[in-house]
């Protein structure tokens, strides 16, 4: 029996035209996302990692249908989310929900928690007032909030509790996929573990698929099944979490893992120092966009951009990946 796939993305790209210059304006193309392909099955977590500006949040906006891709497409539950008619798109949006990074900014401060949770039901369902109340109270209990908090305003909650409210709101329409855009980075470290445990418990209970976006590799290692590492809008390494964390083949992935804090003294010895700054996405270097910061680069890295290809049991975009096997 073939396992169902919730989402399948094929070569997604998003380009923006940027105007430069004060008097004599010139147009430059910003390749915010340049060719991402992946699929996510129910109950699985696909994580996207990389430094700021690598295209993680752009991917989130495409998958949640806030923006349309420049090229490429993706399917949600077998329905094309790029070429479908408006009626089908409206139905798809209920199946894909998002939890934003900032629990302070993502909730309307003028609305009570009950109103925040019931709003998706008012817009997308025909449930009665009593049914909406019942479902909201049930979801609050599911995320660890009490019924007495139903009539309180967001400012009366801690950061961790607000993120629980945001998670509850995302789940009100019973989505198949939840996009979690840096959902714990704004929380205290002591609260992050609680939020992650909640997400994993809900995933197991509701068989949710997660597109988890983060720059924190320790969090990604805990929650993920598959990982895609991105640099300047392009995937550079992609595959099973355990394979990538145990034996990374792209120098950028190696550097990210080496920069992760370790309790083990021996692990801390394997430090890889990245030289130079991240190139401007408006003017990326020729060839491999990472070669200026890579200690392993050769002449071919300066001249030809490596294709994302299969090496062993993962995909890698590096001319010299085999020598790291």
Backbone angles phi, psi at 164, to 5 degrees: -65, -40
> For the residues 186-202, what does the mean pLDDT come to?
89
What is the per-residue pLDDT across 81-139, written as a single tens digit (0 to 9) for each?
998 888 888 888 899 999 988 878 889 999 999 999 999 999 999 999 999 999 999 99
What is the per-residue pLDDT across 53-94, written as a single tens digit (0 to 9) for each?
899 999 999 999 999 999 999 999 999 999 888 888 888 889
**Domains of the chain: residue spans and CATH:** 7-230 (3.40.50.300)
Give residue 269's pLDDT: 46
> For the residues 28-48, what does the mean pLDDT come to?
95
Q: What is the side-by-side order of every strand in the sheet holding 314-316?
A: 96-99, 177-181, 209-214, 45-49, 226-231, 234-240, 314-316, 309-311
Tokens found for residue 163: 């993120």
Give residue 106's pLDDT: 86
pTM score, two decimals? 0.92
């Amino acid at each position: 029996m073939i396992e169902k796939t919730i989402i399948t993305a094929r070569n997604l790209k998003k380009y923006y035209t940027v105007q430069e210059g004060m008097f004599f304006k010139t147009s430059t193309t910003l390749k915010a996302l340049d060719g991402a392909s992946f699929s996510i099955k129910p109950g699985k977590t696909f994580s996207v990692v990389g430094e700021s500006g690598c295209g993680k949040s752009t991917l989130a906006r495409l998958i949640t249908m806030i923006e349309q891709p420049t090229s490429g497409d993706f399917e949600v539950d077998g329905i094309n989310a790029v070429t479908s008619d408006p009626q089908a798109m409206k139905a798809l949006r209920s199946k894909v929900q998002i939890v934003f990074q900032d629990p302070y900014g993502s909730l309307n401060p003028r609305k009570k928690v009950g109103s925040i949770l019931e709003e998706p039901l008012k817009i997308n369902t025909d449930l009665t007032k009593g049914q909406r109340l019942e479902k909201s109270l049930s979801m609050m209990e599911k995320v660890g909030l009490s019924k007495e908090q139903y009539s309180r305003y967001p400012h009366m909650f801690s950061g961790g509790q607000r993120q629980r409210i945001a998670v509850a709101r995302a789940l009100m329409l019973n989505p198949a996929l939840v996009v979690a855009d840096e959902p714990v980075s704004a929380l205290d470290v002591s609260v992050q573990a609680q939020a992650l445990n909640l997400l994993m418990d809900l995933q197991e209970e509701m068989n949710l698929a997660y597109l988890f976006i983060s720059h924190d590799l320790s969090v990604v290692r805990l929650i993920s099944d598959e990982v895609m590492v991105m640099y300047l809008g392009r995937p550079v390494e992609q595959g099973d979490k355990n394979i990538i964390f145990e034996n990374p083949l792209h120098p950028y992935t190696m550097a990210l893992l080496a920069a992760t804090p370790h309790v083990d003294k021996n692990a801390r010895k394997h430090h890889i120092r990245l030289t130079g700054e991240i190139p401007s996405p408006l003017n990326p270097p020729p060839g491999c966009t990472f070669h200026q910061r890579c200690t392993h680069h050769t002449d071919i890295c300066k001249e030809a951009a490596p294709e994302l290809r299969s090496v062993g049991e993962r995909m890698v975009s590096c001319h010299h990946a085999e020598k790291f096997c």
